[in-house]
Structure 1
């Protein structure tokens, strides 16, 4: 059904403005947020009282009841009535409201959450920033999202976190080519393959540069020995070969071990270095 009154503004635009305003209010400081929320509550109370009176009158009138049911099918009218609790909101609307409530706490820890979909009682969400890591704090934030959705949305019985697919670092073919005299081409003999055991993170000094070599399932990857968060060394980083993750020992930032993509803060990246193996010798280019 199309909107009863065409205002020239789509449902998505209207809903977007509501979401943006809610986020803006949540980001205000204490006193300003209290004033904004009181104004919102006062305006909503007026709207709720007027809408409730109209809905009751239309439900009591046989001729008007059919029009009321048609109006409720309109997405904008349904959104308006659900916002005021006059009709029961759909699970997605309820879930978005719940997430608005938890976002300030997530953002205070450098994280965020978005709802992908709800299907068969399961809410599928994507976590960003500090929520999407391997540290205990990130687990606590994920639990916060799950508990809020299950408690606040009757139709949701479970929450599943969708993974953020890492983007492999691209190294040019020219950078990987090693001629008959590799040292003249900038390659430095780094180690023997026998010294880089599977499931280990090995710090090395290669050509004066601090490097770590990660071995996941006999796949070797070299990185500059610096976490993308604050540049602290990764000598004692925790490697989970089963999950393919590398976790910084300082602040718990988690990376895809073979690509260097940061899973805790999408967009951050370990600096990957060209690496070649020739006759059991590992060569790395640092410049």
Structure 2
């Protein structure tokens, strides 16, 4: 009766409470994870078990929802639209309900054969996957013309075609000068580099392998630029310190050395750590910056 009376006096029904934004929910998760990390071992174990139990319930419920939507012609198209949404796709991917995108899947497959390649003095880099074709670059012995090189090239092709259903062909691209790590100790003096828009970031040793270092740099015109440098398998890559999703900083991003990925700590957007390509939303891209080394120091071109 009281609720009815309130509605009649106001002239319109009460509005439902406002739903929290995705950013607010993500912050709650971040705060909870940080709090769990500070617990003593026994309490942390209980909290982790609760987390796994809740995730198992969520996964079971999501699987039921997906199966019901997929089974009915009237709802299947709605399911496909939902899966295309970056947030929904990320949620389903985390619970391994949908297959990873071809680039992520291909990188995982290549990681499984990389020890064999490196054992013969070679390596492989996935450049892109387009229209069912994987474009790769081979390094070291893999890029030669000996019979062993041919065997290693065939190993890469077989692994991708057989391991990734969406890949039907592999194209080996010609090698190019590495854009992210070019030693120039004997080419240009530091003074000239500064004049051309290069800023000295710090020692190479400041960036741990499989990790990230953040540098606050200044352009020649006095503009401040925050930059992150990622080191993966001793290879350095520099990016503007902004996630392509909402320009939030990537200081605490997670680097996965096995998959070669960089994951934003805010909303889970995943990037190829060496190219900056967004694997969660392919239209997005981190802004990569030219990087060189000189006498053990990192130099990054941030503009005039």
TM-score normalised by length of structure 1:
0.47
TM-score normalised by length of structure 2:
0.44
Q: Which has the larger radius of gyration?
A: 1
